Structure 1
Amino acid sequence: MSIKLGIIGGGVMGEAILSRLLAQQVYRSDQVLVSDPQAQRREDLSQRYGVNVTSDNGVAAEAGEVLLLAIKPQVFKAVASNLSQDDQNPSASETLPLVISILAGVSLGKLEAVFEHQPVIRAMPNTPATVGAGITAIAPGKTVTAKHLQVAKTLLGAVGEVVEVSESLMDAVTGLSGSGPAYVAVMIEALADGGVAAGLPRAIASKLALSTVWGTAQLLQDKQLHPAQLKDQVTSPGGTTIAGIAELERSGFRSALIEAVQAAYQRSQQLGK
C-alpha cells in the first residue's frame, strides 16, 4: 500500500495527531510513514501504532496526499536544507502532497520557499489535541484550494476544532491557544495550592480545582455565556466570591494573563526571524 500521509517529527504533537487519525480511521497504519531521528522513538511509534518509520525526511516528504511538519521550529532550517524542491518540475505540482506545518513562528513565506511547487498550510494546534479536545487555527498559502482546505480540516479536525485565520494572526494564536494550556495548568495548580492552604487534603484540593475549571469551561460553551455573565451569576453582594475576585484584581490576575499571551506572541514572532 502506498504512503498517503508523511509525518516529519514523531514528538508529542505529531503522535497526538497520528493517534487520533488512526483511531478515527482517517488513515490506516500502513498508509502512514513517520520520520524521526531517534531510533528508540521510531521503534516506539512502530510498535504502538503499526506505522512505517524512517530516519530519512526525504522519504516522508514523498507521501501521496499530505506531508505534516511536526518538528521544532529551531531545527526547520536544517531539515529544510534536505527537502528543497528546486529540481522538481512545476507541472507535476498536482501530484505533490499538501504540506501542513505546525511549526510556531515559521511563516508561509519560508515554508513556500522550501516547498516551492506545493500547496502549504500553516497550522497551530494545542496540547489538548492529545485527547481530541484541541483547537487548531489554520492559515492557507497562496496556492491552497478549497479542496486542500477541506483535507486539512479533516486531518486536524481529528484532534478537535479547526478555525481559519489570516497568517498575520498566527503568532497571536500561538500566544493564546498554543501556549494557553500551560497558563491554565498553572492556574489549576495555584487553585489547588490555595485549597491546601485553606486546609484541604492535596488530593481533594487537586480534584476540586481540576473539576471546577473543566466544568466552568463546559458551562460557558454549552450555554454560550460571556465569561462576565457567569462571573456575575456567581457573585452575590458581600459574598465570598466577590471577596476572592477583589483579591485577584488587587494581585493583577487579569493583567498577568494578558501579559503572558503578549510575551508568547512576541516570542513566536522572534522564532520566525
Structure 2
Amino acid sequence: MASKLLKIGFIGGGKMAQAMAKGFISAGLTKGDKLIASCHPSDMVSANAFKEIGAEAVFENVPIVQNSDIVIISVKPSVVSVALSEIKSSNLEADKLFLSIVMGVSTKALEQLLPSSSRVIRIMPNTPALVRNAASVFVTGRKATEADVRITKRLLESVGTCEQVPEGLLDPITALSGSGPAYIYVLIEALADGGVKMGLPRDLAYRLASQTVLGAAQMVRDTKAHPGVLKDDVTSPAGSTAAGLHFLEQQGFRAAVIGAIESATQRCREVSKNAETK
C-alpha cells in the first residue's frame, strides 16, 4: 500500500526551505499541492518559487500550522521569536511536530516560544537536499516521541544522509556541513579557474572540476579509507600531484580550511549566545 503523502508547512520560504521542499517532492514523500509556506510580504521571489512547484504561499504563520501535519521552521534567528509568537498568541492547538533549521536557537528555547502541546526537533540539513544528497543531523526536544524521530529520519534520509547527535555539536556541524557546500563551490570554481588559466575551455573545466569533487567525495564515503591514504594513492614520486600538493601546503591550504570551520563555529556560537539572551 502506498504511503500517505505528507502535508508539510514551512514557516519561512527561503532557499533552504525551497531545497527541502523540492527534495521531498523528488523523493515521493509529498506533492506540491500538499505544501504550504509563509513568506514575508516583501519576499515575492520566495512566494513565487513555492507557487511554481504547486504549493500555496501565504503571508502569515497561523495557516501553516492549521494546514500541515509537520511544520518546518526556516526563518532567520533574529525573527524566530516574532514568527512563533504569532502562533503562541493565537491559542491555536499545536499538537504537532515542529522541525527547526534555525541556527543557534535551542530546543529548549523553541519549546518556550511554541504552544505547550508542540513537539520540537532541531534539524541541520544542507542545500544539496535539492538533489537528494544532503548531509543532515537532528536533535530531539524534550517532548519528541519515537514516532517523531522515525518521521524525521524518513524525511531527512529521503534527501540524503541523516544522523542523530547531541545538541552541543550543532554549532561545529553547522560550520562544517551546513556552510560546507559554500567552501566546496569555491574550491570547484578555483579548480576550474586553474584549468582555464592553463588553456581549458570554461565549460569543460567546470564539468571536470565538479565531477572530480563528486568522485573524490564518494571514494571517501564508500571505501571508508582514510583520505590521506587515498591522497597517497594518487601521488606518484616526483609527479604532478606531488608538485600541486606542495604548492597547496606552501599556501596554507589545510590551515585555511580548518580556520574556516573554526571561524564559522565561533559565529554560530555568537548567534546562539545572542538568541539565549533575548
- When the two structures are superposed, what TM-score results if normalisation uses the length of structure 1? 0.89
- 2:102 is matched with 103
Go from structure 1 to structure 2 and tell me whether the alpha carbon gap of 1:11 and 1:103 turns closer, same or farther (over 3 Å shift): same
Q: 1:57 aligns with which of 56, 61, 65?
A: 61
Task: Give aligned-pair identity as a percent.
Answer: 38
Name the counterpart of 1:232.
Answer: 232
- 1:74 and 2:78 correspond: yes
TM-score computed with the length of structure 2 as normaliser: 0.88
In the superposition, relative to structure 1, how do residues 231 and 121 fare at CA in structure 2: closer, same or farther (>3 Å)?
A: same
CA–CA distance in structure 2, aligned partners of residues 191 and 166 of structure 1: 36
Tell me which moved more, 243-252 or 71-80: 71-80
- Residue 45 (structure 1) aligned to one of 47, 50, 72: 50
- Verify: 1:15 aligned to 2:18, yes or no: yes
What is the CA–CA distance in structure 1 between the aligned matches of 2:224 and 2:103, rounded to whole Å? 30
> Which whole-Å deviations, capped at 9, do the CAs of 1:217-267 have from their partners, x for residues lacking one?
122223222111111101122222112111111111011001101111111
Q: 1:203 to 1:151 in 2, by over 3 A?
A: same
CA contact (8 A) 2:62 2:86 kept: yes
Q: How does 1:248-259 map to 2 (within 5 A)?
A: 248-259=248-259
Kindly state the Cα deviation for residue 140 of structure 1 after the two structures are TM-superposed. Answer: 0.6
Q: CA deviation at 1:42?
A: 2.7
Whole-Å separation in 1 of the counterparts to 2:80 and 2:68: 22
C-alpha deviations, 1:180-227, integer Å up to 9, x for none? Answer: 001111111111222222233333322222221111112222322211
Unaligned runs of 5+ in 2: 1-5
Aligned position for 1:113: 112
Q: By how many angstroms is 1:174 displaced?
A: 0.3
SS at match of 1:61: helix
What do you get for the CA RMSD once the two structures are aligned?
A: 2.2
Aligned-pair CA distance for 1:80: 2.3
Letter in 1 for 2:127: T
- AA aligned opposite 2:34: Q
Unaligned runs of 5+ in 1: none
Q: Give the partner amino acid of 1:76.
A: V
Residue 164 of structure 1 deviates from its aligned partner by 0.8
The number of equivalent residue pairs is 266
Gap change, CA 1:166 and 1:248, over 3 Å in 2: same
Residue 133 of structure 1 deviates from its aligned partner by 0.9
Question: Cα offset for 1:18?
Answer: 1.3
- Paired amino acid for 2:88: S
Call closer, same or farther: CA 1:51–1:196 in 2, change over 3 Å: closer
Q: 1:212 & 1:119 partners in 2: Cα distance?
A: 42
Partner amino acid for 1:137?
V
Q: After superposition, what is the alpha-carbon deviation per residue over 1:45-71, rounded to whole angstroms, capped at 9, x for unaligned?
A: 22x222233211011123452111111
8 Å contact kept, 1:64–1:96 = no
The worse-fitting range, judged by mean Cα deviation, of 68-77 and 131-140 is: 68-77
Match of 2:215 in 1: 215
